[in-house]
Amino acid sequence: ETGVTQTPRHLVMGMTNKKSLKCEQHLGHNAMYWYKQSAKKPLELMFVYNFKEQTENNSVPSRFSPECPNSSHLFLHLHTLQPEDSALYLCASSPGLEDEQFFGPGTRLTVL
Amino acid sequence: GDSVTQMEGPVTLSEEACLTINCTYTATGYPSLFWYVQYPGEGLQLLLKATKADDKGSNKGFEATYRKETTSFHLEKGSVQVSDSAVYFCARGSWGKFQFGAGTQVVVTP
């Protein structure tokens, strides 16, 4: 596979469930990002990782827990979410922090 | 804080019409500027970019010029196609701190 892949593409979960979103980039990039895209709202940056180290947490609630085991993989662990967390979650990567970002197709999350 | 402001949509136009989407940015530092496009059900794709003042980014018939004096990066296309229907995002970025505009939906009718 090439580019940035995300799994699953769609996820429906209850408020008491625990699930994880996975992102993988095949571009040899060093930086990875999680974004939240809600209807009628600007794209929200959630987390930034550079060389596996978290460089930014944009005041994200603790029910979202990121993990970056290596520069190619990024996870977003979800637990006790709220219905307002329903959104499209986008992963992106870039060669470095100053470079353009390449996006995955997103995971459409619905919290019931 | 830093931000990007772009015109609200939806913008509806006929095939072969001219398209302009306005974008202004805060000028803190020396940001790079980008236009991304999002087609239905997909992630964002980089459309074009400019890294310094007076640079012109271009791709697929779209153009945008980095205007420092007006802090603008307007997206233009001379003749749109139905396949250009999408949401367009203007963005500024420096040191991993990207700010995206709210997006402008463009609908092109035959």
Tell me the pLDDT tens digit for each residue of A40-92. 788 889 999 999 999 888 889 999 999 999 999 999 999 999 999 999 999 99
Of A31, A43, A55, the CB nearest to B89: A43
Dihedral sign of CA atoms B105, A57, A49, A52 in order: negative
Residues from chain A that touch B44, judged by Cβ atoms under 8 A, are 43, 90, 92, 103
Q: What is the pLDDT of residue B96?
A: 66
Please determine, for residue B23, whether its predicted confidence score (pLDDT) is greater than 70. yes
Please determine, for residue B58, whether its predicted confidence score (pLDDT) is greater than 80. yes
A41 has a chain B CB within 8 A of its CB: yes
CB-based burial of residue B63 (10 Å sphere; 0-12 exposed, 13-18 middle, 19+ buried)? middle
B97 has a chain A CB within 8 A of its CB: yes
Tokens of B87: 């949401």
Residue B110 CB neighbours (<10 A): 6
A55 has a chain B CB within 8 A of its CB: yes
Q: What is the pLDDT of residue A39?
A: 83
Taking CB atoms and an 8 Å limit, are A98 and B44 in contact across chains? no
Tokens of A14: 């209850």
Report whether B50 contacts B73 (CB < 8 A).
Answer: yes
The whole-chain average pLDDT of chain B stands at: 93
Taking CB atoms and an 8 Å limit, are B43 and A103 in contact across chains? yes
Query: What are the Cα distances from residue B41, in Å, to A10, A55, A73, B104?
Result: 11, 29, 22, 16
Q: What is the pLDDT of residue B107?
A: 97
Dihedral sign of CA atoms B92, B21, B78, B84 in order: positive
User: What span, in angstroms and rounded, lies between the C-alpha atoms of A73 and A26?
Assistant: 9
Residues from chain A that touch B34, judged by Cβ atoms under 8 A, are 100
User: What span, in angstroms and rounded, lies between the C-alpha atoms of B96 and B110?
Assistant: 39
User: What span, in angstroms and rounded, lies between the C-alpha atoms of B109 and B92?
Assistant: 30
Please determine, for residue B48, whether its predicted confidence score (pLDDT) is greater than 90. yes
A25 has a chain B CB within 8 A of its CB: no
Q: What is the pLDDT of residue A91?
A: 97
Calculate Rg over the CA atoms of chain A.
13
Please determine, for residue A21, whether its predicted confidence score (pLDDT) is greater than 70. yes
A56 has a chain B CB within 8 A of its CB: yes
Q: What is the pLDDT of residue A58?
A: 83
Q: What is the pLDDT of residue A74?
A: 97
Q: Which residue has the tokens 């999408």?
A: B86
- pLDDT per residue over A88-111, tens digit each? 999 999 998 888 899 999 999 999
User: What span, in angstroms and rounded, lies between the C-alpha atoms of B1 and B97?
Assistant: 11
Q: What is the pLDDT of residue B83?
A: 95
- Find out whether the peptide bond into B10 is cis, omega within 30 degrees of 0: yes
